[in-house]
Structures are given as C-alpha cells and as structure tokens.
Copies of this chain bind each other. A is one copy, B any other.
Amino acid sequence: MLLYLHANKLTRLEKLFSSIKIQVNEKLFIKDPDSSQLGKKIVEHSIYLIDEIGFEEFTFKKLGVRIGSPESTIYRYFENKHMLLVYITSWYWTWLEYRLVFSTNNISSPEERLKRAIAIVTEPVKQDSNYSHINEVKLNRIIISESLKAYFTKEVDEANKEGFYMVYKSIVQRISEMVLDISPKFKHPHTLISTVVEGAHQQKYFSEHLPSLTDVGNNDDKIVSFFTNLVFSMLKNG
C-alpha cells in the first residue's frame, strides 16, 4: 500500500498512474469485483444506488434489479451489503492516498507540501477518468454521509475493520508527518488532521443540507482555505 516515489521517476509514473489498479484488501470480497465485467457493474451501480436511496434502504435485491442479475450473483462477490460498503469505502481512501502521494511527492517546500495535502483531502472530488466504472463524485457523497457510521455494525468483524481503516490511518499518518516536518514539537498532529479530514466532509454536507451550520455557501474553495488556515494557525500557536 505504501508508495515510494522519486522525483526523477515522475514521467514514467504518470503513465503508470493512468493504468494503475486500485488494490483493495482481499478480505473485503469473496471474488474480486475488478476481475470481471459483472463485478465492475456491481460496484458501479452500487455507488449509484446507495447515493440515491441511502445505505439503509439499499439491498442486494434492488441492486440486482438494477443490473439485471439475481441477488445470488452479487453474493458471489460480496458476503453482504456491509462488506460491499467497506469495499467501496476502502477503494475511495486508497484512491485518495494515491492522489495524495502523487500530488505531494516531488514538492520540496514543507509548507507547500502540506498545503497540497490539505487541498487533496478537503477540495471537492472530481470524476477520475482512469476508473470509468467508479463515479468518484457520488462515491465521495456516500463516504460523507455513510462512512464512519457503517463500520459499527456487528456484521463487519474486527479483523475487517482493521483492514479497512488501514488506508484511512495511512493518510492521516502521512499528513501528520508533514505537519511534524514543519513543527516537530506540535503535540497533536493526528487529532488535527483527522479533524480536518472529517470536518471538510461535514462542511460539504452542511452546505448542502443545513446551511445555517456553515458560512461557506456553495463555495467549496472556502472549505479548502478555511481548513488550510486552521492548520497553519494551529502550527503557529500550538
């Protein structure tokens, strides 16, 4: 999962990147959905459907109707709907980590590097043409509204939770290290960064559904600048 990237490899990396396969923990599926057309279709439409009706209302039966296959087919890929959610969530964070690594790799200025990192995790998500069967925008909306909550269910056992959170932790860890590169004595880098990552999600959600809890309106740039400002203020005073 960890990527060691070097500046002089950038051009080759760019090519590589466009064809990279997002590798999700094998324990999260029974059969790799990336290994067949049907598998991709399942993932693709699950994102559409969960975005539309919410995870609680989402069932394999309904997804089956969407893709014209029986539920039983979907069970060949995922143990149950919770594991499917864990899968797409993991995919999302893995994809974000790739982008984070790619975006910050060859930046020598620690401040610039941290700014870019914050931008990656707070800016609005855009469709990534490299993964045509994944709608990252909708997926991001799912993460925002269903994310953390989903992992509480007893259906997802401890081991799987660990596996799933690994990527999330890795992102927080990477950015925390960037914070320490700037202020080695800062005491709470993980708390700061996890607050930023989750806070950005929430503000997007509030701006759409509960505007009186925010001041950002529809302007997503404000979210980036607010959280960038927040981090650098803390580093100055923390």
Q: Which residues of A contact B (CB under 8 A)?
A: 53-54, 56-57, 145-146, 148-149, 152-154, 165, 168-169, 172-173, 187-192, 194-195, 198-199, 202-203, 205-206, 210, 212-216, 222, 226, 229-230, 232-234, 236-238
- Determine the chain B residues whose CB is within 8 A of the CB of A226 once the complex forms: 188, 191-192
- Determine the chain B residues whose CB is within 8 A of the CB of A237 once the complex forms: 229, 232-233, 236-237
User: How many angstroms from the CA of A205 to the CA of B152 in the assembled complex?
Assistant: 11
Tell me, rounded to whole Å, the shortest Cβ–Cβ distance linking A97 to chain B: 15
B153 touches A210 (CB 8 A): no
User: How many angstroms from the CA of A216 to the CA of B231 in the assembled complex?
Assistant: 17
Copy count, this protein chain:
4
B152 touches A212 (CB 8 A): no
User: How many angstroms from the CA of A165 to the CA of B206 in the assembled complex?
Assistant: 11
B203 touches A215 (CB 8 A): no
User: How many angstroms from the CA of A188 to the CA of B228 in the assembled complex?
Assistant: 13
User: How many angstroms from the CA of A39 to the CA of B230 in the assembled complex?
Assistant: 45
- Determine the chain B residues whose CB is within 8 A of the CB of A202 once the complex forms: 148, 194-195, 198
Chain A binding site: helix, strand, loop or mixed by DSSP? helix
B210 touches A165 (CB 8 A): yes
User: How many angstroms from the CA of A189 to the CA of B56 in the assembled complex?
Assistant: 33
- With beta carbons under 8 angstroms apart, the residue of B54, B168, B190 that contacts A215 is B190
A213 touches B56 (CB 8 A): no
Tell me, rounded to whole Å, the shortest Cβ–Cβ distance linking A89 to chain B: 14
Question: Nearest residue in B to A162 (C-beta to C-beta)?
Answer: B210
A173 touches B212 (CB 8 A): yes
User: How many angstroms from the CA of A161 to the CA of B86 in the assembled complex?
Assistant: 28
User: How many angstroms from the CA of A215 to the CA of B238 in the assembled complex?
Assistant: 14
- Determine the chain B residues whose CB is within 8 A of the CB of A195 once the complex forms: 195, 199, 202-203, 230
A213 touches B169 (CB 8 A): yes
- Determine the chain B residues whose CB is within 8 A of the CB of A199 once the complex forms: 195, 198-199
- Determine the chain B residues whose CB is within 8 A of the CB of A213 once the complex forms: 168-169, 172, 190-191, 194
